[in-house]
Amino acid sequence: MKTVQVNNGVEIPILGFGVFQIPPEKTEQVVIDAIKAGYRHIDTAQAYMNETEVGLGIKKSSVAREELFITTKIWIENVSYDGVMNSFQGSLNRLGLDYVDLLLIHQPYNDIYGAWSAMEELQKEGKIRAIGISNFAVDRAVDLSLFNKVTPAINQIEINPFNQQTEAIEALKAQGIRPEAWAPFAEGKNEIFQNEILSEIGKKYNKSVAQVILRWLVEQEVVVLAKTTNPERMAENIDVFDFRLTDEDKAAIATLNIGESQFFSHADPNMIKMLAETKLGL
């Protein structure tokens, strides 16, 4: 598995496995299957309500802890100094781990500065190897970077062929923040798996549309999360390191860019209110 460095020298596998929307009763086996398929980077969150099952899957895998890269995220209600300090140990307990490799602020709301201060302290204590953010606009990411001791290692944002975020990717890299893509397949929206351009590129290399999309992100050195509960698809999605896209391929993919989220705007006041009202009680 190819790895890339984040700004403090920590190596992260460029292709990870996400467990968003995987029901807890399925998560343990899915994580076991993903690790067996070759994934070494597993991404969960407090809000996914499956940290416990992720931890069980890790424990039952045959892979040593130090070979795995585990990410979790702090939900909005816990985004404050005390919130992080009070909830992070719960995440560790549910995961059954002594440390996580990456801890993210899941959404750019609440007391992000207090939360960041707590995360810096936990990193110093060795409970987190790298700290970062998720769903932050570039200006918010740069602001957080400039006025704190530690620059975010990662900003996990929506990136897919319909929302390519080219300027954001370059701006984050310029600030020393590694972009990480969620929803690379846009959750199947706009019939992405039947897209003619992506399908024709895939035929050239005997690859699927999903493999073309993952390769497109890997070649940008964007960390990317793929998700499936199907072991065959897991193996397929990780098999993207034996071909390269041409400039012509990349230019064709660029024409698919709509330039807007395929889900919702994180600047929408109504969405902010809805997310803020989502309480986990962890």
For the CA atoms of the chain, what is the radius of gyration? 18
The residue written with tokens 């307990």 in the block is 93
Q: Give backbone dihedrals phi and psi of 158, rounded to 5 degrees, phi first.
A: -70, 120
Cα distance between residue 176 and residue 24, in whole Å: 35
Active site residue 39: no
Question: Which residue type, as a one-letter code, is found at position 35?
Answer: I
**What angle do the packed helices 209-218 and 196-205 form, to 10 degrees?**
80
Catalytic residue among 39, 48, 99, 109: 48
Q: Give backbone dihedrals phi and psi of 9, rounded to 5 degrees, phi first.
A: 90, -5
**DSSP conformation letters of 247-280:** HHHHHHHHTT---S-SS--TT-HHHHHHHHT---
Indicate left, alpha or beta for 190 from its phi (over 0: left) and psi (-120 to 50: alpha).
left
54 near 39, Cβ under 8 Å?
Answer: no
Cα distance between residue 79 and residue 83, in whole Å: 6
- Coil, helix or strand for 154? strand
Active site residues: 48
